[in-house]
């Protein structure tokens, strides 16, 4: 089995249009959540979001190409080019068939679906764009990245709701570990801040309605949390076999050592109250890595700011880690960015690797009133300087799907 390492990272988030600004603002405790600008939400229960701000796709693709891509694909292509620039490497033609792309997308092109449906109703079928279908399909993020970078290995989209990005990283890890590919571009992308998506999530009572206090609306693990805030963006990692990375003299940021996936087999949207499904996924990641619970010192939590998720995730962590649970530095990035849905696992995997590589662990904002049932160390004091040997990144989604990545500080 091949060892797998991370050699480059990229991110586009509500906190910044590149990794450097996103990471700096995350550590500074800044918020990317504000009043919604994408459409008039005055008639909605929720009027706030974590939007990507000032993004210009024509810095990365032509105007013509940008018009034929939904924003989630634009984000993926832009992030992939930043990723390869950070890696100081391009895919050689002779390695193209061993270099692949797996990008998770939860909902795909909702904006185009809404716009084209309106056009159909108002003007008839002859007015529908010939690019409608290829624009909206979720796998187009991976497809466009493959085209732009010349990656001819595995080209896959994972669509598992809010676990999509983490399943993508886990699948890419497996591709390299098993020797099917040498290099994988992986992560998650999403942009579904649209009228229909907001109406749907409001109907299910999933979103926070703290419209007058957007920066403090997302409150992972706080007693008074009232739902998640929708976000958008992209997070990508460049994974390589250790041999490939060494051969090209790559800078190694971390090692990927474990992946765990599970199903709740319980409910369409709610996790089991004991968190047992999430616990299975975490345990599987540890088992694959042959790592004891006592060795894990950092967890990037799913931490959605919904009542059930935060409570059940806390219970799952206690179940897996026992007495060690209270010693683990946990963070919930969604307090500052909102929930990036299919992109969340990609971005949070990026931040998990950054925590290992820099020795700085992010905290969790907006823990204003402690929840007595969520009583672990969630980093309420903000980012801290602390070396970590292992970082676990959790993602859980509707349909009872759970995914966890385990990263290790690279030490040769």
Which residues are designated catalytic?
162, 302, 339
Helix (H, G, I), strand (E, B) or coil at 57: helix
> CB-based contacts of 296: which residues, under 8 Å, 6+ apart?
286, 321, 324, 328, 390, 391, 392, 406
Neighbours of 13 (CB within 10 A): 33
Whether residue 239 contacts residue 76, with contact meaning beta carbons closer than 8 Å, is answered with no
> CB-based contacts of 9: which residues, under 8 Å, 6+ apart?
19, 83, 86, 235, 236, 237, 238, 253, 350, 353, 354
Whether residue 406 contacts residue 291, with contact meaning beta carbons closer than 8 Å, is answered with yes
Helix (H, G, I), strand (E, B) or coil at 137: coil
Helix (H, G, I), strand (E, B) or coil at 240: strand
Neighbours of 43 (CB within 10 A): 8
Size of the chain, expressed as the number of residues it contains: 412
Whether residue 261 contacts residue 402, with contact meaning beta carbons closer than 8 Å, is answered with yes
Q: State the Cα–Cα distance between residues 277 and 262, nearest whole angstrom.
A: 6
- H-helix segments, 53-107: 63-67, 71-87
Q: State the Cα–Cα distance between residues 390 and 292, nearest whole angstrom.
A: 10
Helix (H, G, I), strand (E, B) or coil at 168: helix
Q: Which residue has the tokens 């749907």?
A: 200
Q: How far is CA 1 from CA 157, 175, 179, 250, 276, in A?
A: 24, 11, 7, 20, 30
Q: Which residue has the tokens 């409910």?
A: 267
Residue 298 pairs with which residues in a beta bridge? 329, 391
Structure tokens at 406: 């385990």
Phi, psi (rounded to 5 degrees) for 351: -70, -30
Structure tokens at 131: 């690019």
Residue of 389, 346, 279, 399 whose CA lies nearest to 79: 346
């Amino acid at each position: 089995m091949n060892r797998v390492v991370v050699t480059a990272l990229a991110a586009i988030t509500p906190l910044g249009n590149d990794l450097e600004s996103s990471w700096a603002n995350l550590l500074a405790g800044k918020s990317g959540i504000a009043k919604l600008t994408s459409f008039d939400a005055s008639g909605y229960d929720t009027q706030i979001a974590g939007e990507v701000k000032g993004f210009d796709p024509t810095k990365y693709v032509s105007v013509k190409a940008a018009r034929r891509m939904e924003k989630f694909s634009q984000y993926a292509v832009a992030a992939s080019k930043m990723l390869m620039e950070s890696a100081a490497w391009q895919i050689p033609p002779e390695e193209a068939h061993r270099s692949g792309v797996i990008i998770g997308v939860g909902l795909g092109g909702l904006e185009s679906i809404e716009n084209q449906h309106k056009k159909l109703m108002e003007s008839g079928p002859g007015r529908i764009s010939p690019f409608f279908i290829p624009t909206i399909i979720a796998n187009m993020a991976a497809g466009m990245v493959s085209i732009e970078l010349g990656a001819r290995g595995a080209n896959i989209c994972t669509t598992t709701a809010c676990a999509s990005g983490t399943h993508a990283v886990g699948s890419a890890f497996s591709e390299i570990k098993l020797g099917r590919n040498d290099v994988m571009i992986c992560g998650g992308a999403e942009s579904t801040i649209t009228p229909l998506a907001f109406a749907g999530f409001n109907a299910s009572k999933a979103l926070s309605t703290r419209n007058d206090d957007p920066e403090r609306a997302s409150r992972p693990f706080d007693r008074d949390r009232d739902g998640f805030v929708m976000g958008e963006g992209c997070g990508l990692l460049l994974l390589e076999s250790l041999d490939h990375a060494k051969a090209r003299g790559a800078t190694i940021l971390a090692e990927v050592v474990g992946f765990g996936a599970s199903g709740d087999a319980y409910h369409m949207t709610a996790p089991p109250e004991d968190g047992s499904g999430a616990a299975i996924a975490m345990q599987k990641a540890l088992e694959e890595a042959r790592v004891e619970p006592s060795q894990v010192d950092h967890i990037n939590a799913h931490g959605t700011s919904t009542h059930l998720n935060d409570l059940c995730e806390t219970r799952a962590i206690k179940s897996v880690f026992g007495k060690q649970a209270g010693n683990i530095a946990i963070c919930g990035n969604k307090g500052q960015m909102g929930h990036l849905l299919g992109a969340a696992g990609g971005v949070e995997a990026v931040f998990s690797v950054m925590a290992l590589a820099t020795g700085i662990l992010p905290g969790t904002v907006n823990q204003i009133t402690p929840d007595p049932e969520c009583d672990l160390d969630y980093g309420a004091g903000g980012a801290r300087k602390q070396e970590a040997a292992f970082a676990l990144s959790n993602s859980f989604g509707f349909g009872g799907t759970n995914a966890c990545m385990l990263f290790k500080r690279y030490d040769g």
